[in-house]
Structure 1
Amino acid sequence: MTSKRSPLAPNESDLDVHRLEPPRDFRNLKWALVCSQLCLTLIAFGWTSPLRADDDPVLTLSDFQGSGTNDFQSEAAPVGFSEIQPIDLDSRFAEMQMRIQELESDRFEGRLTQQRASEGLQPKPEEGRLFATFESVLVQPTQSNSTAIIVQTDDGFSHIGFPWQIEHSPRIQFGREAEDNTLGWRVRFWEFRHSDGLTANDANGLIPTGNEGTAGYFIENGDILTGLAFINEGEFQSTVRTDVIDWELQRRIANPIDFYAGIRYAKVAQGYFASTDEGTIQGHSQFRGMGPTMALQINHVLPVENLQLFANLRGSMLYGARKFSATDSLTPLGNIRQTIGDIDLRPGDDSADSLVANAEMQLGLRIVMTDHFSMTVAMEAMHYNGVGGPNPTGVFTGPDGGLNGDSPMDDNLGFLGLTVGSQLIW
């Protein structure tokens, strides 16, 4: 007797759920997930294809039991529904969702990495190294008016100026170097404090016998109002003092070029003193101000090992106050003092009323001794425009040899010389 399979009994092939190969993209993986869920649902509920009209009638279990045949029971027993293991669809679905999310995350990170590489994005650079520099600034002051005394000779009039020479002054700076896409900073301080003098008499020929000298500031109708005349001998002295402080930020705008911008404070004080046989005279000028400063530093590596060429350019605009005063002891008036800018009706002791331009230039060589130490030697020039001056402003003009005066507030001051420095980097 040939037994017929019950349509309610599941096929073994129906229970064989094929494994899904890893999809090439996430769209195929999602479709595979939907199909797998549908197949598992059909198996769980035992759905089969619908019967056609020409199919055999469906036999129930009671029909087989009534036949009294033990052979069929032994064959049908292994396919009972009690042996089908239940399937947890929720856990399978959650597991596949987690897998999809992991693949999507990996794909997103890969795209982000490619995007960064295409845009040329680099990791955040490290901060630059700290440095400290000491420079010996060997410069000579150049005053636009360096007159110590005006001497009358047989040939006319001669202005004898102060014989300023190269003087040493220290400049220190410290800060942090700027790397690419970062800001560096530095603080600089420079101080120049020196004096110079001369002696004039008939012995050294500066005031020949029978001739006279004059040192005058304010003149009216050819006569000195403040100053000395008829000088036969005397000692004359000039002093110059500068204090300059810079606070700057640094940005590397190109590989060989660094840009600096910040604030500069400057104090420029000058003095004049004369002790003569006719009396004494003293003059003093001062400018003190603050303003923006900008600088460029250009570096070039030479084909010679450890040798570099560099140049520094700087410009500043300083807003502050200028003062001038002069006093003489000429008898019978004696101790006459005249001032400019000493009295200000505005509130505050440091009222600003003047704008001074400042320019600096440096060109030199750098020798890189080690990775942490280097030395520099350079030519340097500095100029302060309109800071005033303390020296006598009188000049002899006109056919009658009358004395004329100029304003001491318009004088300029400059420095020219050599700079030798050393730098420590760590």
Structure 2
Amino acid sequence: MVHPTASTLNDLLKLMTQKIDWVGITSRCLVGANLLVIGWSFSGKASAQSPQNDSPASGYSSSFDSVTDLPANEIDDLIDQASYAQWTEAAAADGGVTIHNGADSSIQLMNLERRLAQQESQLARLQNGPARPGKLFARYESVIVQPVQSNQTALIVQTGDEEFATVMFPWEMKHSPRVTLGYEPPSNGVGWQLRYWQFDHGQSFVASEDNGIIQPGWRADVPYLVEDGDVALGVQLFEEGTFTSRVRADVIDLEVSRNLIQPVDAFIGMRYGKFSQTYSAVTDEGSVNAITEFRGLGPTMALRLRQTLPLDRLAMFGTLRGAMLYGKKDFLGRESNFGNTQHVNGIDLRSYDEGVNSFAGSLEMQVGVEYTITDHFTTFVAFEGQHHSSVGGVNPPATMEGRDGDVTGDSVLDDDLSFVGLTTGIQLQY
């Protein structure tokens, strides 16, 4: 066995040292190159993702000076969108950094879906409007309407041999007041209102040969009660007369209300209604007077729709109200020549056979616009229509088809009464 000498050992150590140095240099070069490649790829990915990351920041820059000015929930969203994976020992051993882009995209998508759901919820609340507060109110309305009677006959004039024409009352638009006091409930609350409306007006005119209503050489009639083809109650064969019709309506409603959904309110309550009509004919051959009246009590129901318009403080509204009254009807007619009287007494409510005739129905409608001048003052205008069925009539119900007893009559208790026109008003609320 040969033992190495000292010089041989020195030469061997130098050779090993040189190899180790070359290996170290080579390893360091490889590691450095690897780091350069990874850094270049990371910078490229970051630059590629920069438009997406800049978009949220640009969105907030217009409303906030810094990120700290944002609401807390939106700061959490930004932090969630910037979630990266932590370093691991395996990644450090490879000399690189691992970014889980797939996981980040899923998190961002979930955040966007969550924010979209929140915005949709906020939009739905804005469309429905803010929660409505409760308020006391007092309303005054000028109901300018024209009464429309089922039978508007004033007199019947003869225009030729066996020829007749009916002259109607020339009703015009009349003002009538309506007052309402109440409490408008908040959303999902219960309110109430008390309404009172009164219409009390008359219409009269003169019929004679001078104004041409009664033609020269012919005469006129006011036929009421007809027996065996002859007029038993009324005035006949006159040449001049003054005719008057008067209508009075008193309606009181007491209702409770509740908001069904944001634009719709429902009302239910009780109504007392009284409808009275009178007729008068004063002629050169005598006079005749008649009166009919209905009084009843019953339930009422209504729906009101109010929709705010895009214009500030302006809104459209519509109201539909119905009532069914159970009560009593009377008719009384008298003529002066022979003192004849026709009296149809009030229907006996205890009688089943006659009970159905004591009902009267009402249907009312309003459609208009309102303008809220201040938080405590509102003005409005609306079209209004009312129809009250089977409240009775008072004008001459008979029709004439000839002088030879061809006279037919009709019942006065089955007639209807309507009102058509406009309503203007103001409302104070607090």
Q: Please, which of 251, 255, 278 is the counterpart of residue 248 of structure 1?
A: 255
Q: 1:311 to 1:127 in 2, by over 3 A?
A: closer
1:107 corresponding residue in structure 2: none
CA distance in 2, matches of 1:345, 1:135: 35
2:383 corresponding residue in structure 1: 379
CA distance in 2, matches of 1:365, 1:324: 41
Deviations, residues 91-137 of structure 1 (Å, cap 9, x unaligned): xxxxxxxxxxxxxxxxxxxxxxxxxxxxxxxxxx9972100000000
Deviations, residues 115-171 of structure 1 (Å, cap 9, x unaligned): xxxxxxxxxx99721000000000000011010100011272111011000000000
Identity %: 45
Matched, 1:313 2:317: no
Q: Please, which of 414, 419, 425 is the counterpart of residue 423 of structure 2?
A: 419
Q: State whether residues 252 and 259 of structure 1, in contact with CA within 8 Å, keep that contact through their aligned partners in structure 2.
A: yes
Q: State whether residues 320 and 352 of structure 1, in contact with CA within 8 Å, keep that contact through their aligned partners in structure 2.
A: no
Q: State whether residues 133 and 187 of structure 2, in contact with CA within 8 Å, keep that contact through their aligned partners in structure 1.
A: no
Tell me, what secondary structure is at the counterpart of 2:413? helix
1:4 corresponding residue in structure 2: none
CA distance in 2, matches of 1:313, 1:162: 29
1:135 corresponding residue in structure 2: 141
2:208 corresponding residue in structure 1: 201
CA distance in 2, matches of 1:373, 1:176: 15
Deviations, residues 286-338 of structure 1 (Å, cap 9, x unaligned): 000010000000011111111100000000000000110100012xxx22111
Tell me, what secondary structure is at the counterpart of 2:374? coil
Please tell me the residue identity of whatever aligns with 1:217: Y
Q: State whether residues 148 and 161 of structure 1, in contact with CA within 8 Å, keep that contact through their aligned partners in structure 2.
A: yes
Q: What is the deviation of 1:371?
A: 0.9
Deviations, residues 366-393 of structure 1 (Å, cap 9, x unaligned): 0011111110000000010011111001
Matched, 1:273 2:280: yes
CA distance in 2, matches of 1:198, 1:344: 37
Q: State whether residues 264 and 306 of structure 2, in contact with CA within 8 Å, keep that contact through their aligned partners in structure 1.
A: yes
Q: What is the deviation of 1:181?
A: 2.3
Tell me, what secondary structure is at the counterpart of 1:409? coil
CA distance in 2, matches of 1:344, 1:132: 39
Matched, 1:150 2:159: no
Deviations, residues 256-306 of structure 1 (Å, cap 9, x unaligned): 000000001000000000100110100100000010000000011111111
Q: What is the deviation of 1:344?
A: 5.0
Q: Please, which of 355, 358, 361 is the counterpart of residue 359 of structure 2?
A: 355
CA distance in 2, matches of 1:220, 1:379: 44
Q: What is the deviation of 1:345?
A: 9.4
1:80 corresponding residue in structure 2: none
Which consecutive residues of structure 2, in runs of 5 or more, have no partner in the other structure? 1-130
Which consecutive residues of structure 1, in runs of 5 or more, have no partner in the other structure? 1-124
1:329 corresponding residue in structure 2: 336
CA distance in 1, matches of 2:241, 2:145: 28
Q: TM-score scaled to structure 1, two decimals?
A: 0.67
Q: 1:126 to 1:392 in 2, by over 3 A?
A: closer
2:96 corresponding residue in structure 1: none
2:303 corresponding residue in structure 1: 296
Q: State whether residues 321 and 353 of structure 1, in contact with CA within 8 Å, keep that contact through their aligned partners in structure 2.
A: no
Q: What is the deviation of 1:228?
A: 1.0
Q: State whether residues 194 and 241 of structure 1, in contact with CA within 8 Å, keep that contact through their aligned partners in structure 2.
A: yes
Q: 1:241 to 1:381 in 2, by over 3 A?
A: same
Tell me, what secondary structure is at the counterpart of 2:251? strand
Q: TM-score scaled to structure 2, two decimals?
A: 0.66
Q: State whether residues 202 and 246 of structure 2, in contact with CA within 8 Å, keep that contact through their aligned partners in structure 1.
A: yes
1:88 corresponding residue in structure 2: none
1:102 corresponding residue in structure 2: none
Matched, 1:189 2:196: yes
CA distance in 1, matches of 2:296, 2:279: 22
Q: Please, which of 394, 397, 412 is the counterpart of residue 393 of structure 1?
A: 397
Q: What is the deviation of 1:397?
A: 3.4
CA distance in 2, matches of 1:364, 1:211: 49
Pair member with larger Rg: 1
Please list, as runs of the form range in 1=range in 2, the aligned pairs for 1:11-22 lying within 5 A after superposition.
none
Q: What is the deviation of 1:342?
A: 4.5
Q: Higher helix share goes to which structure?
A: 2
| Count of residues in Structure 1 that have an aligned counterpart in Structure 2 | 296
CA distance in 2, matches of 1:342, 1:128: 44
Q: State whether residues 363 and 378 of structure 1, in contact with CA within 8 Å, keep that contact through their aligned partners in structure 2.
A: yes
CA distance in 1, matches of 2:132, 2:408: 64
Q: Please, which of 227, 238, 254 is the counterpart of residue 220 of structure 1?
A: 227
Q: What is the deviation of 1:353?
A: 5.8
Q: What is the deviation of 1:352?
A: 9.7
Q: What is the deviation of 1:221?
A: 2.3
Matched, 1:178 2:182: no
Please tell me the residue identity of whatever aligns with 1:336: N
Q: What is the deviation of 1:398?
A: 6.9
Q: 1:399 to 1:424 in 2, by over 3 A?
A: same
1:238 corresponding residue in structure 2: 245
Please tell me the residue identity of whatever aligns with 1:208: Q
Tell me, what secondary structure is at the counterpart of 1:369? strand
Please tell me the residue identity of whatever aligns with 2:201: H
Q: What is the deviation of 1:396?
A: 1.6
Over the residues paired in the alignment, what is the CA RMSD in angstroms?
A: 2.0
2:78 corresponding residue in structure 1: none
CA distance in 2, matches of 1:311, 1:290: 25
1:64 corresponding residue in structure 2: none
Q: What is the deviation of 1:402?
A: 1.1
Deviations, residues 377-420 of structure 1 (Å, cap 9, x unaligned): 00000010011111001102379571111011111100000000
CA distance in 2, matches of 1:346, 1:275: 39
Higher mean displacement: 177-186 or 283-292: 177-186
